[in-house]
């Protein structure tokens, strides 16, 4: 039983016309949970004289649909009535008591969130370990959850059943929200979480959520997140999308005074509704970041994407139809690159119910699908993520595809407009149940590696990882590039072998040591899935350490689009996370984790903005090498991309340089021209712009942005 009602709603959605507008689709989805209650006749009273299992099942479905719509008090009332009826009945209906108690417990936990967390815009809200100032001031919801989960566990104990790890976790979590963990948890049911909850790690920054202070506290369902300079003022702006069909894309302008201004209306995107993900591009090479918005994920019927051209006056123009991109699809993600090195950005669109699309850019504002000819249309369903990478360093972009209902695939660019699948020969063996993915050089050896998340999960299996116990499911893959000759999965030995339930995710250097770290969002639709998002610190390019508690980034709300970027211009990477579940009753506000800098070291940094001339102007695919003189000396490799397939980092590259004394060498390798630029003795702690073929770099503004007083 899914207490969120998500599965019931998506399976019962009526089709909409392929030509329907986004507003018409939103109208057809508005209040669908309430309409399903009427359609399924779930308001009928129990049969006269007896209570049967079919009626109780209907009440459980009704409660789930009310939770879907955010009506937790009404859902609780329905569950109470169903419980009373089951308790009066001596027959089959009594067998439903455990299920009713479970849904009651989950609903009560959500009630606690609604009454305490949804509008609590503080640095500690919903973050593990739950601090004293985040303990629920209105305890009724969590108190009721403790009673229901204790009831279930005691019954299972009497019946000699094995440990119910999910219910144990939810019970312990409810006690945490009441400030009662661990001392007031029944010793029979207390989980040994001290190892995960330990916050002792002085070498990493401790982030604070400043979203409410800076004006980015938008209340959304699941969605995408972008940090990018949209208006050319050298400040990172923010874009947020949301899965909720009646809500629009949101654009926030960075004012430079520590606050963001909601420009959704003036940017002309208020009619861009209902999108799980979005990414920036520059499809027309005019130097102004455009937006590409994908829709239809998880739905039985397709929806059109949107290509929004940046007009340069603060607004965007919908050019989807004119560009030839208006065909409705079921898509979760899209990735832009210049796969044919003609200086124009093309886009691969991951599809769930259709063949994948590879839209080639003609250069006149239009695109056409070449996926079948190129050999990347695929025969899989539920393709959830893709990453472009030049894995063999031949100057041509190859393609990695992560598949939910199948196995991951790797395609090598044949340089003639086609791709050859090299999955097995290159050592790619999964994951199954794939979701978001990316390419990065995590070990700084000059060869791009692959991280592919796995979405096979249960709450119980995720919790086993928090407890340091083995699990029985598939896992993420961290593919180390063996100098272009193959890949070897080192996820387990690198400390990334647990179950995480990852949807949104991304990477960035949180501590300025020149190594890329990882943030994983946990986006399971079920209201019962209250597990922390996870931060992993890169230790020397060979192992990752879970620092979720130490960094105060282990947020319990559903994590979707993730973006690392230096919004406050202090030289370290902050993290924008679009939180909230996939149903209207599981909304949450966006979080902006501000990085205070590494407390134990004075790490230096460099931010690069690259401008292509023969290469695409956004410089996507360009490679960067930085060699420092310091203690120790470092060689750092980066490539220009938006990062993960679910969440979009800025195209500028903020590079931590550790304890560098100087930058001995900076090299840029441009894919379309095949040229390499070299610069020596570039200043530390600065922002610069480098244009392809230019003899010198250009300084950019470096004024720090402080929080408002």
Over residues 413-430, the mean pLDDT reads: 98
In 319-460, the DSSP E strands lie at 333-337, 346-350, 357-361, 367-369, 381-389, 398-405, 409-413, 419-421, 434-440, 449-454
Convert the pLDDT of each residue in 447-474 to its tens digit. 999 999 999 999 999 999 999 999 999 9
Q: 628 vs 203, 251, 466, CA distance in Å? A: 21, 37, 37
The pLDDT of residue 94: 60
Largest pairwise CA distance in the chain: 89
Paired residues of 439 in beta bridges: 450
The contacts of residue 180 (CB under 8 Å, 6+ apart) are none
pLDDT tops 70 at residue 57: yes
Distance CA 428, CA 403 (A): 13
Count the Cβ atoms, other than its own, within 10 Å of residue 158: 8
Burial zone of 28 (CB within 10 Å; 0-12 exposed, 13-18 middle, 19+ buried): middle
Would you say 274 and 244 are in contact if contact means Cβ atoms under 8 Å apart? yes
Residue 202's pLDDT band (cuts 50, 70, 90): confident
Show the 3-state SS of 532-559.
Answer: CCEEEEEECCCEEEECHHHHCCEECCCE
- In total, the chain counts a number of residues equal to 709
pLDDT at 131 over 70: yes
Q: Which of 12-26, 525-539, 621-635 has the lowest mean pLDDT?
A: 12-26
pLDDT at 18 > cutoff 90: no
pLDDT band at 702 (very low <50, low <70, confident <90, very high): confident
Of 60-64, 157-161, 246-250, 372-376, minimum mean pLDDT range: 157-161
Other beta carbons within 10 Å of 220? 23
Tens digits of residue pLDDT in 327-337? 999 999 999 99
Q: Assess contact for 467 and 457: CB atoms under 8 A.
A: no
- Rounded-to-integer distance, Cα 429 and Cα 252, Å: 41
* 195 band by pLDDT with thresholds 50, 70 and 90: confident
Supply 319's token pair: 């050019």
Rounded to an integer, the average pLDDT of 400-427 is 97
What pLDDT does residue 122 have? 63
Neighbour tally for 529: CB within 10 Å: 24
Residue 622 scores a pLDDT above 70: yes
601 pLDDT exceeds 90?
no
Confidence of residue 20 (pLDDT cuts 50, 70, 90): confident
Cα distance between residue 517 and residue 656, in whole Å: 11
Q: Mark 302-335 as b/e (b = at least 16 C-beta within 10 Å).
A: bbbbbbbbbeeeeebebbbeebbbbbbbbbbbbb
Residue 93 has pLDDT above 80, yes or no: no
Those residues whose C-beta lies under 8 Å from the C-beta of residue 192, and which sit 6 or more positions away, are 467
Residue that the structure tokens 């503080």 belong to: 122
Give me the pLDDT at residue 566, please: 98
pLDDT above 90 (res 2): no
- Rounded distance between C-alpha atoms, residue 620 and residue 641, angstroms: 5
Lowest mean pLDDT among 9-18, 499-508, 537-546, 689-698: 9-18
DSSP 246-264: TSB-EEEEE-SSS-EEE-T
What pLDDT is attached to residue 95?
A: 74
Whether 523 shows a pLDDT value over 90: the answer reads no
Whether residue 569 is predicted with pLDDT greater than 70 in this model: the reply is yes
What is the three-class DSSP state of 410?
strand
- pLDDT of 343 higher than 80: yes
Mean of pLDDT over the chain: 94
Which element (helix H / strand E) includes 109?
helix 97-116
Calpha distance 693→673 (Å, rounded): 9
Of 33, 117, 19, 112, nearest to 69 (Cα)? 33
Residues 103-117 pLDDT 10s: 999 999 999 999 998
pLDDT tens for each residue of 405-417: 999 999 999 999 9
Terminal alpha carbon distance of the chain: 48
Query: Considering only 153-157, 315-319, 379-383, 468-472, which range has the smallest mean pLDDT?
Result: 379-383
What was the pLDDT predicted at 400? 98
Q: Residue 85: which pLDDT band, with cuts at 50, 70 and 90? A: confident
- pLDDT (tens digit per residue) in 353-389: 999 999 999 999 999 999 999 999 998 789 999 999 9
**Token pair for residue 190?**
């207390």
Report d(CA 516, CA 616) in Å as an integer.
25
- Predicted local confidence at residue 650, as pLDDT: 98
Interatomic CA distance for residues 644 and 684, integer angstroms? 28
Average pLDDT value for residue range 163-176: 97
């Amino acid at each position: 039983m899914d207490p969120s009602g998500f599965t019931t709603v998506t399976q019962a959605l009526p089709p909409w016309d392929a030509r329907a507008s986004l507003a018409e689709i939103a109208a057809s989805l508005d209040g669908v949970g309430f309409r399903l209650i009427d359609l399924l006749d779930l308001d009928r009273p129990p049969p006269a004289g007896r209570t049967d299992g079919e009626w109780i099942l209907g009440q459980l479905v009704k409660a789930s649909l009310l939770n879907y719509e955010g009506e937790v008090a009404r859902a609780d009332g329905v569950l109470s009535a169903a419980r009373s009826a089951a308790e009066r009945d001596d027959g089959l209906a009594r067998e439903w008591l455990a299920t009713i108690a479970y849904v009651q417990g989950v609903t009560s936990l959500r009630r606690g969130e609604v009454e305490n967390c949804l509008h609590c815009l503080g640095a500690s809200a919903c973050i593990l370990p739950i601090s004293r100032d985040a303990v629920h001031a209105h305890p009724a919801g969590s108190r009721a959850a403790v009673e229901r989960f204790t009831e279930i566990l005691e019954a299972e104990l009497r019946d000699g059943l094995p440990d119910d790890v999910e219910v144990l976790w939810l019970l312990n979590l409810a006690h945490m929200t009441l400030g009662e963990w661990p001392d007031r948890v029944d010793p029979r049911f207390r989980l040994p979480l001290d190892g995960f909850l330990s916050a002792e790690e002085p070498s990493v920054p401790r982030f604070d959520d400043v979203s409410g202070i800076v004006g980015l506290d938008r209340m959304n369902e699941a969605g995408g997140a972008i940090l990018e300079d949209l208006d050319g003022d050298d400040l990172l702006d923010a874009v947020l999308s949301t899965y909720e069909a009646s809500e629009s894309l949101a654009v926030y302008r960075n004012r430079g005074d520590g606050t963001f201004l909601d420009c959704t209306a003036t940017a002309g995107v208020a009619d861009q509704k209902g999108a799980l993900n979005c990414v920036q591009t520059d499809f027309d090479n005019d130097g102004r970041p455009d937006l590409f918005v994908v829709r239809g994920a998880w739905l039985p019927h397709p929806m059109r994407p949107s290509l929004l051209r940046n007009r340069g006056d603060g607004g965007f123009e919908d050019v989807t139809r004119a560009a030839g991109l208006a065909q409705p699809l079921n898509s979760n993600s899209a990735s832009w690159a210049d796969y044919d090195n003609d200086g124009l950005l093309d886009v691969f669109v991951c599809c769930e119910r259709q063949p994948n699309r590879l839209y080639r850019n003609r250069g006149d504002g239009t695109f056409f699908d070449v996926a079948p000819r190129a050999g990347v249309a695929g025969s899989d369903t539920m393709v959830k993520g893709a990453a472009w990478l030049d894995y063999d360093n031949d100057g041509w972009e190859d393609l990695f595809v992560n598949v939910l209902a199948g196995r991951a695939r790797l395609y090598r660019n044949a340089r003639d407009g086609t791709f050859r699948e090299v999955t097995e020969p290159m050592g790619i063996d999964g994951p199954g149940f794939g979701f978001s993915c990316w390419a990065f050089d995590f070990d700084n050896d000059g060869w791009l590696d692959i991280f592919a998340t796995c979405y096979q999960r249960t709450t119980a299996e995720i919790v086993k990882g928090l407890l340091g116990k083995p699990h029985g499911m598939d896992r993420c893959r961290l593919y180390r590039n063996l100098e272009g000759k193959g890949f070897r999965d080192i996820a387990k030995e690198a400390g990334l072998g647990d179950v995480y339930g990852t949807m949104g995710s991304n990477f960035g250097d949180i501590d300025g040591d020149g190594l890329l770290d990882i943030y994983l969002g946990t986006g399971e639709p079920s209201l019962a899935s209250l597990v922390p998002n996870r931060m992993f610190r890169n230790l020397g390019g060979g192992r990752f350490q879970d620092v979720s508690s130490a960094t105060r980034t282990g947020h319990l709300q559903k994590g979707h689009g993730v973006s690392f970027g230096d919004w406050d211009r202090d030289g370290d990477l902050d993290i924008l996370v679009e939180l909230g579940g996939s149903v209207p009753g599981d909304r949450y506000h966006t979080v902006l984790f501000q990085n205070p800098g590494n407390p134990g070291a004075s790490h230096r940094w460099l931010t690069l903005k690259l401008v292509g001339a023969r290469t695409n102007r956004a410089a996507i695919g360009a490679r960067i090498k930085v060699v420092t003189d310091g203690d120790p000396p470092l060689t750092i490799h980066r490539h220009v991309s938006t990062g993960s397939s679910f969440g979009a980092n800025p195209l500028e590259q903020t590079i931590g340089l550790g304890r560098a004394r100087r930058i001995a060498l900076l090299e840029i390798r441009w894919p379309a021209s095949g040229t390499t630029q070299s610069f020596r003795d570039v200043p530390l702690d600065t922002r610069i712009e480098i244009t392809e073929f230019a003899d010198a770099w250009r300084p950019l503004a470096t004024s720090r942005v402080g929080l408002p007083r």
